[in-house]
């Protein structure tokens, strides 16, 4: 900040205050220190909050002679926590960081116009730290959810076959009791990670004026379209995997007087599941093909429309009608 020397001291006018871009206070170090401080405080709170119950449980399991059970549980929870947190952080933060790099050149000017010169520059300089903090916070949340599935993981890893197979898919009964719950968790974790990541990426593209709305995606920059198409390919591929796993749930359906797959389940709902799995897999391939061939949304849109049609007609209307008949 300086005074303009080009003024007459005899004039009654006040000197003009000039603020150059070099004089604007840069805030990333302050924001970074604040996030680090909050992270340390949060980590200290978790340590104090958990260390006393853990120590009490450790003593109790030692007294009854099952301390190895306690250590196995803690080690499994720790492994799942860090695995889930790191996986979520890698997917989420790398994508939002890439979305930030794809922001148009006039984003800085847009922020200054909307929030003023100083606040716009502050937001521009600190948004990277904000995204890092959001990614770290959500990663802790994701890690805790993963740690809660420790029992499913141990059952999945040390499962024992029953030597009895189901008559529909030919799987051992132990697969449904010990392995399927953890596979369902893995799918849910991956799917919702991609949903949150895609929503955050679209929000950043919208805030950065890379796109004005979803209808503006076909006319967006090539890098933006390619990024969105890659995420849509991952989402639809994960959806196909989810429908493939959902066919096993037919054996657990409540059908009034009995539990299991009924006539409509085996004749119509199972076919609908296979059809939707294929349509979503083809939609994922269409998204990947669109990345290399002009980044058009035509075929991915057709694929999503075909899947929605199959979901409504084949998956709901036809089975319900045939069940009534």
Q: Which residues of 277-288 are buried (b: 16+ CB within 10 A; e: fewer)?
A: bbbbbbbbbbbb
Q: Which residues of 59-98 are buried (b: 16+ CB within 10 A; e: fewer)?
A: eebeeeeeeeebeeeeebbeebbeebbebbbebbbebbee
Q: What is the pLDDT of residue 231?
A: 94
Question: Largest alpha-carbon pair distance within the chain?
Answer: 102
- Per-residue model confidence as pLDDT tens digits over 87-111: 999 999 999 998 888 776 655 555 5
Q: How far apart are CA 81 and CA 70, in angstroms?
A: 16
Q: What is the pLDDT of residue 261?
A: 86
Phi, psi of 258 (to 5 degrees): -145, 165
Q: How far apart are CA 70 and CA 204, in angstroms?
A: 44
**Residue 202: closest CA among 190, 192, 216:** 216
Structure pTM?
Answer: 0.77
- Per-residue model confidence as pLDDT tens digits over 242-285: 999 999 999 988 877 788 888 888 999 999 999 999 999 999 99
- Structure token digits, residue 262: 């009924």
Parts of the chain with a pLDDT under 70: 1-32, 35, 46-50, 104-126, 208-210, 212-220, 294-295
Q: What is the pLDDT of residue 246?
A: 93
Q: What is the pLDDT of residue 18?
A: 46
């Amino acid at each position: 900040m300086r005074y303009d020397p080009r003024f007459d001291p005899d004039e009654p006018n006040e000197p003009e205050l000039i603020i150059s871009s070099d004089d604007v206070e840069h805030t990333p170090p302050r924001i970074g220190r604040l996030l680090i401080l909050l992270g340390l405080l949060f980590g200290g709170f978790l340590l104090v909050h958990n260390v006393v119950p853990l120590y009490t449980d450790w003593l109790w399991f030692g007294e009854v002679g099952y301390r190895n059970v306690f250590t196995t549980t803690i080690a499994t929870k720790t492994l799942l926590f860090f695995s889930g947190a790191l996986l979520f952080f890698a997917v989420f933060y790398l994508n939002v960081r890439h979305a930030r790099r794809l922001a148009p050149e006039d984003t800085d000017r847009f922020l200054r116009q909307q929030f003023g010169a100083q606040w716009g520059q502050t937001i521009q300089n600190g948004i990277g730290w904000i995204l890092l903090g959001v990614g770290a916070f959500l990663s802790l949340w994701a890690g805790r959810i993963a740690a809660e599935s420790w029992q499913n993981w141990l059952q999945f890893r040390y499962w024992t076959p029953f030597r009895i197979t189901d008559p529909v898919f030919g799987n051992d009964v132990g697969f449904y009791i010990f392995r399927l719950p953890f596979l369902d968790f893995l799918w849910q974790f991956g799917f919702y990670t991609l949903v949150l990541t895609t929503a955050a990426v679209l929000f950043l593209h919208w805030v950065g004026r890379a796109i004005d709305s979803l209808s503006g995606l076909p006319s967006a920059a090539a890098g933006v379209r390619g990024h969105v198409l890659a995420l849509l390919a991952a989402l639809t591929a994960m959806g196909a995997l989810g429908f493939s796993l959902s066919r096993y749930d037919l054996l657990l359906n409540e059908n009034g007087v009995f539990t299991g797959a009924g006539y409509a389940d085996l004749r119509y709902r199972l076919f609908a599941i296979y059809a939707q799995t294929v349509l979503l897999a083809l939609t994922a391939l269409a998204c990947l093909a669109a990345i290399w061939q002009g980044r058009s949304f035509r075929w991915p849109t057709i694929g999503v429309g075909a899947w929605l049609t199959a979901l409504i007609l084949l998956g709901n209307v036809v089975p319900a009608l045939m069940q009534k008949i």
